[in-house]
Amino acid sequence: MSHIVTPFEHEVEVRYGETDQMGVVYHANYLLYFEEGRTKMMAALGLPYAEVERRGCALAVRKAALRYRSPARYGETLVVRTWIEKLGGASVLFQYEIVRKDSRERVAEGTTELACVDLRSPSRPVCMVPEDLREALRSALPPA
Amino acid sequence: MSHIVTPFEHEVEVRYGETDQMGVVYHANYLLYFEEGRTKMMAALGLPYAEVERRGCALAVRKAALRYRSPARYGETLVVRTWIEKLGGASVLFQYEIVRKDSRERVAEGTTELACVDLRSPSRPVCMVPEDLREALRSALPPA
Amino acid sequence: MSHIVTPFEHEVEVRYGETDQMGVVYHANYLLYFEEGRTKMMAALGLPYAEVERRGCALAVRKAALRYRSPARYGETLVVRTWIEKLGGASVLFQYEIVRKDSRERVAEGTTELACVDLRSPSRPVCMVPEDLREALRSALPPA
Amino acid sequence: MSHIVTPFEHEVEVRYGETDQMGVVYHANYLLYFEEGRTKMMAALGLPYAEVERRGCALAVRKAALRYRSPARYGETLVVRTWIEKLGGASVLFQYEIVRKDSRERVAEGTTELACVDLRSPSRPVCMVPEDLREALRSALPPA
C-alpha cells in the first residue's frame, strides 16, 4: 500500500472551454476538478478508481456542496487539495480546497459524499466499502 | 410584470453527452439543469437574465448544494421545478427539485445562492439587487 | 413507421454554461446541438436512439466536420436542422445546419459520420445497419 | 522567443466526466484536448494565448474537422501532438494527433482553422495576425 501526504495536492490548468461569458470558470466545472482530485489521490494510494470499477464497485456521488470564494480564470494554474473527511461503512466523504498556485488564495472549497454501489447487481444496491478500498482510503484521512 | 406559478416548471431532455460511463447523467450536469431553471423562470417573470447582465448586474453563484436521489438516464424527460427560497438584500437563494416527467419520482434537488455583483466596476463588487429585479423575483417566492 | 419533414427542425436555447469568455457559445458545444438533432429526429422517426442501443447496436461518431459562421449567444433560440445525407451499409452521414430562430441567419453547419457497431460483442465491431433502423432512417433522406 | 520541438506534445488524463454511456470519451471533448494543445504550445512558444487576448486579439475557431480512430477511456493517459499546418495572413491552421501514451496507438486526429479577430472593435472584425504572434507561431510550423 502506498502512503501519501494529505491533503493530496494536484495542479489543474484552467481550459478555455471551462470559462463562461463572465470570463471566469463556470461554477459546475469545479465538480470536475474535485473529481480529478479523487482520481489522482486514489491513483497515488495505489488503487486507481478505474480498477475499483473493474472489480465491480462504484463510488456514486450522493451529495455535493460547493462554496465559491474567488473566481478562477483561463490561463491560471490551480492547486486542488483533496482529503477524506469521513470513511463510513458504505460511504466516503471527500473534502476539497482549491487555491491559486501562485498566491495560495482560496478559490473554492467543497465536499462530496459518495456511496459505494455494487455494479454486479443490475439495481446497483448500496454496499459496504470493500476492505482493500477501505484500507487504501484510510491513508487519506487526516491524522487523528 | 408577469405572474408565474411557483415552483416554476420546465422540461429537460437528457443529452447523450450529459451521461458518463456509469450510464447516468454526470453529477455536475445537474447544475446546468438548475441554471436553465433560473433562466427560464426569469424569462417567464418578464426579466430575462441576459437583459439583467446587459443592464450591468450579474448574479454570481456563491454556494451550491446538491442531493442526488435517483440517477437520470439518456432519453428521459425530466421536470425541473425552480423557486426562490429567500430574497436577500444583495443575494438570492434559489431552490430546485428535479423529477421524472412520467412517474414524478425525485431525481435530485438542491440550492444555489447567488450574489448580485456590479459588472460596471472592474472589481465586480457585491451590490444590492436592483429594484426592478427584486420586484420580478418577488413573484417567485412561495406564498407566505 | 413515422414520417417526418426533412430537414428535421428542433429548437435549442443556449445555456449560460455553454458560453465561454468570448461571450459566445464554445465551439465544441455545437456537437451537442448536432447530437440533439439526431436524437430528436430519430424519436420523431419512431425509433428513439436509446431503444436502438437497448437492441444492441450503437451509432459511434467516426468523423465530424464543423463550419462556424456567426457566433450564438446566451439567451438566443437556435433552430437545428438535421437530415441524413447518405445512408451506407454500415454507416450514416448526418448533416446539420444551425440558424437563429428569429432572423434565420446561419450560425453553423456540419456533418457527422456514424458507424454502426455491435454492442453485444466486447470488441464492438462495425456491423451492418439493422433493417428496422435503416427503414426508419430512409425517411430522413432528402427527396431524390 | 522560445523554440519548441514540433509536433508539440502534452499529456492529458481522461476525466470521468469526459466519458459517456458508451464507456468512452464523448466525441465533443476531443475539441477540448485540441484546444489545450494550442494553449500549451503557445505558452511554450513564450506567448500565452491569455496574453494574446489581453493585447486585444482573439483566435476564433472558424472550422474544425475530427477523425476518431480508437476510443479513449477513463484512466488512460493520452498524448496530444499539436503543430501549425498553415500560417495565413489572417488565419492559422492547427493540426492535432492524439495517441495513447503507452502504445502510441492513434486515438483521434483533426484540424482547427482559427481566424484572427480584433477584440477592440465591438463587431470583432477579422484582422491580420499581429507580427509578434506570427513570429511566435512560425516556430511551430513543420520544417520546410
C6: pLDDT confidence band, cut at 50, 70 and 90? confident
> Would you say residue C3 lies in a domain?
no
> Would you say residue C41 lies in a domain?
yes
Q: What per-residue confidence (pLDDT) applies to D2? A: 65
Please count the residue pairs, one from chain A and one from chain D, whose beta carbons lie less than 8 angstroms apart: 40
pLDDT at C116 over 90: yes
Instruction: Indicate which residue of B20, B102, B118, B132 is catalytic.
Output: B20
C2: pLDDT confidence band, cut at 50, 70 and 90? low
Give the three-class secondary structure for C85. Answer: strand
How many separate helices (H) and strands (E) can be counted in chain D?
Answer: 3, 5
Query: Which residues, 6 or more positions from A122, have their beta carbon under 8 angstroms from its beta carbon?
Result: none
Please name the helix (run of DSSP H) or strand (run of DSSP E) that holds residue A117, with its range, or none: strand A106-118
pLDDT at C7 over 80: yes
Give the three-class secondary structure for D124. Answer: coil
ipTM comes to: 0.96
Q: How many CA atoms lie within 13 A of B94 on its CB side?
A: 28
Dist. CA C84–CA C52, nearest whole Å: 17
D37: pLDDT confidence band, cut at 50, 70 and 90? very high
Residues of A in Cβ contact (< 8 Å) with C74: 21
Chain D's closest residue to A60, CA to CA, is D16
Report CB contact under 8 Å: D32, A15: yes
Q: What per-residue confidence (pLDDT) applies to D1? A: 53
> What's the whole-number mean pLDDT along residues D53-60?
96
> Would you say residue B100 lies in a domain?
yes
> Would you say residue D103 lies in a domain?
yes
> What's the whole-number mean pLDDT along residues D39-48?
96
Dist. CA D27–CA C37, nearest whole Å: 15
Here the cell at position C23 is 461571450
Dist. CA A119–CA A127, nearest whole Å: 10
> Would you say residue A97 lies in a domain?
yes
Residues of D in Cβ contact (< 8 Å) with B74: 21
Domain count within chain D:
1
Question: Which residues of chain B are modeled with pLDDT < 50?
Answer: none
Dist. CA A76–CA A13, nearest whole Å: 6
CB of C29 less than 8 A from some CB of B: no
Nearest to B16 among C35, C74, C75 (CB): C35
The cell 430562430 sits on which residue? C101
Report CB contact under 8 Å: D16, B16: no
CATH number at residue C81: 3.10.129.10
CB of C71 less than 8 A from some CB of A: no
Chain C's closest residue to D109, CA to CA, is C63
> What's the whole-number mean pLDDT along residues C25-52?
97
Report CB contact under 8 Å: C61, D22: no
C28 closest CA partner among D78, D116, A78, A15: A15
Domain that includes residue C27, residue range: 8-138
> Would you say residue D143 lies in a domain?
no
pLDDT at C4 over 80: yes
Dist. CA B34–CA D34, nearest whole Å: 29
Q: What per-residue confidence (pLDDT) applies to C144? A: 67
* Active site (catalytic) residues of C: 20
- % of chain A exceeding 70 in pLDDT: 98
Q: What per-residue confidence (pLDDT) applies to D143? A: 75
Residues of B in Cβ contact (< 8 Å) with A51: none
Nearest to A23 among C17, C21, C74 (CB): C21
Report CB contact under 8 Å: A31, B31: yes
From A49's Cα to the closest Cα of chain B, the distance in A is 13
Query: Which residues, 6 or more positions from B49, have their beta carbon under 8 angstroms from its beta carbon?
Result: B38, B39, B42, B43, B59, C16, C75
Here the cell at position B97 is 427539485
Question: Which residues of chain A are modeled with pLDDT < 70?
Answer: 1-2, 144
Residues of C in Cβ contact (< 8 Å) with B17: 31-32, 35
Does the predicted TM-score (pTM) go above 0.95? Answer: yes
B118 is catalytic: no
Q: What per-residue confidence (pLDDT) applies to D31? A: 98
> Would you say residue A122 lies in a domain?
yes
From A70's Cα to the closest Cα of chain C, the distance in A is 16
> Would you say residue D28 lies in a domain?
yes
What subunits make at least 3 CB pairs under 8 angstroms with A? B, C, D
The cell 466519458 sits on which residue? D19
